[in-house]
Amino acid sequence: MSDASLWAALADPHRRAIVALLLERPRPVGEIVEACGLSQPSTSKHLRVLRDAGLVRVRQDAQRRVYALDPAPIAELDAWLAPYRKLWSTSLDALGRRLDETATAAAAAPGESSDEEDADTSTPSSKD
């Protein structure tokens, strides 16, 4: 199992949908076919790619094949993404601080009140 095979396996939206289903609980192939709306052969091909990448495990349960998510490769991806997550957290924290400052400044700035507007509109015109 290589990083390239993990990324390649997760590049397809159908395979990501299968991984999301298996995150909830192990499922037999029939349930995966139904949930994804794919044909059985197409679903089996996607499952084979996920299995070859090490993302899922399969066990035989009588006549059914039950697939489950293997958390180890996901943990590897999570570890690889950690520095990028820190980058985003720092950027989002800075954005949050800036938005708070802007909101505070806007609240402190003098604005027109409805009384001032009423006074402007109630002034008699010199043409009357």
Instruction: Quick: pLDDT tens for 97-127.
Output: 989 888 888 888 766 454 444 555 555 554 5
In the chain, % of residues over pLDDT 70: 84
**Could you give the CA distance from residue 14 to residue 38 in angstroms, rounded to a whole number?**
9
Taking only the tens place, the pLDDT of each residue in 70-105 is 999 988 888 888 888 888 888 888 888 989 888 888
64: which strand partners?
61
- Give the closest residue to 44 by CA, choosing from 52, 35, 33: 33
What pTM did the predictor assign? 0.65
